[in-house]
């Protein structure tokens, strides 16, 4: 998989001055477009579209500083429909417009080419199992929050505090599926880098036919789930687990992400209250190769 990812990076470089088909990147890496976008963002820390934009404007900046061709020709070469659109994008990345950069030889920002390498640590083993589940619902209270990869998310903590105790008792009473009890479920909306938004559910997994109207419901179709387990300090160990799934487990196993919520069940460790035992349920589908 790492070789295929690096082949995809080469393909991006070869198509910076022309239209880039994500379907071709998915073909190179033998994944779906959805999985490629998600895997790339998890590993790179930015959406694919943002990386391509920064690389195009990095390469375009060299031509701007060289003094030729014209700024409009450079804009058209790198996919901008007008000089104004190119100037806005150029300023957003470099802090100055292309005309000013050409006149003054300004200091510009560069997005380095990405490549992926495997770091073998050998000091941890990921515990997981594959589960086939029938259709179910995530039932609880929903809020839209930004992604925070380190530390407690204050928006989520505030949301949980805002749910009345009586409401939480009603929610908990609807739990009738594994993972049991109150869980966290997140649905990514517009990317995977820090600051992107997710719909967060403080909820339970349920097959209840009737749900109170004051609760939020997310329908989940039947499908395959990869279930990961770990123990450690909260929330650091859990956040590392999310990163390990994307960076280590996905590239090494014949599965890819499919649309759906990521469901996290945490319970305080009986031996050490500062530690948590966690299960992370990730919606996946088996790839046709591997």
Q: Which domains does the chain have, with CATH numbers?
A: 2-104 (1.10.10.60), 127-286 (3.20.80.10)
**What's the sign of the alpha-carbon dihedral 90, 94, 99, 105?**
negative
Give the angle subtended at the CA of 67 by the CAs of 107 and 86, to the nearest 5°. Answer: 70
CA–CA separation, 55 vs 43, rounded Å? Answer: 17
State the 10-residue block means of pLDDT for the chain, 290 residues long: 84 89 91 84 81 88 82 90 90 88 76 69 61 95 83 86 95 94 88 73 94 94 90 73 76 81 86 79 79
Q: Which residues pair with 164 in a beta bridge?
A: none
Per-residue confidence (pLDDT) for residue 124, from 0 to 100: 47
Q: How many CB atoms lie within 10 A of CB 275?
A: 15
Q: Which DSSP symbol is given to 247?
A: I
From residue 165, alpha-carbon distances to 159, 161, 162, 169, 170 in Å are 13, 9, 9, 6, 9
Smallest CA-to-CA distance from 28 within 4, 49, 53 is with: 4
Instruction: Give the bridge partners for 132, in sequence order.
Output: 224
pLDDT of residue 117: 65
Which of 141, 100, 110, 119 lies closest to 43, judged by CA? 119
Alpha helices for the chain (secondary structure H) = 2-14, 22-29, 33-44, 48-66, 71-77, 83-94, 98-104, 154-162, 165-172, 236-244, 250-252
CA torsion 161→267→259→134, rounded to 10°?
-110
Task: Give the separation between CA 195 and CA 218, rounded to whole angstroms.
Answer: 23
Looking at residue 63, its pLDDT comes to: 85
Q: What is the pLDDT of residue 120?
A: 44
pLDDT at 175 (0 to 100): 95
Which of 46, 49, 50, 22 minimizes the C-alpha distance to 36? 22
pLDDT, position 118: 53
Q: What is residue 105's predicted lDDT score, i.e. its pLDDT?
A: 63
């Amino acid at each position: 998989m790492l070789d295929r990812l690096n082949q995809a990076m080469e393909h991006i470089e070869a198509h910076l001055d022309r239209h880039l088909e994500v379907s071709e990147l998915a073909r190179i890496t033998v994944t779906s477009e959805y999985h490629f976008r998600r895997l790339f963002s998890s590993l790179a820390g930015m959406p694919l579209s943002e990386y391509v934009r920064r690389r195009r404007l990095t390469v375009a900046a060299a031509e701007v500083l060289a003094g030729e061709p014209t700024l409009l020709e450079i804009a058209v070469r790198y996919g901008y429909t007008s000089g104004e659109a190119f100037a806005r994008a150029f300023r957003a990345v470099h802090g100055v417009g292309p005309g000013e950069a050409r006149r003054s030889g300004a200091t510009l920002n560069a997005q380095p080419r990405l490549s992926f390498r495997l770091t073998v640590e050998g000091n941890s083993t990921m515990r997981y199992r594959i589960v086939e589940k029938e259709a179910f619902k995530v039932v609880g209270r929903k809020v839209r929050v930004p992604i925070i990869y380190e530390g407690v998310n204050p928006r989520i903590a505030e949301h949980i505090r805002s749910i009345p105790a009586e409401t939480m008792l009603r929610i908990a009473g609807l739990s009738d599926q594994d993972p049991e009890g109150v869980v966290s479920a997140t649905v990514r909306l517009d990317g995977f880098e820090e600051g992107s938004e997710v719909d967060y559910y403080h909820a339970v997994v349920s097959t209840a036919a009737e749900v109170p109207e004051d609760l939020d419901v997310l329908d989940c179709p039947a499908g395959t789930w990869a279930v990961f387990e770990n123990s450690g300090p909260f929330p650091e160990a859990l956040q590392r687990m999310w990163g390990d799934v994307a960076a280590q487990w996905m590239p090494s196993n014949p599965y890819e992400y499919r649309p759906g919520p990521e469901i996290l069940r945490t319970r305080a460790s009986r031996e050490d209250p500062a530690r948590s035992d966690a299960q992370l349920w990730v919606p996946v589908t088996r790839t046709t190769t591997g």
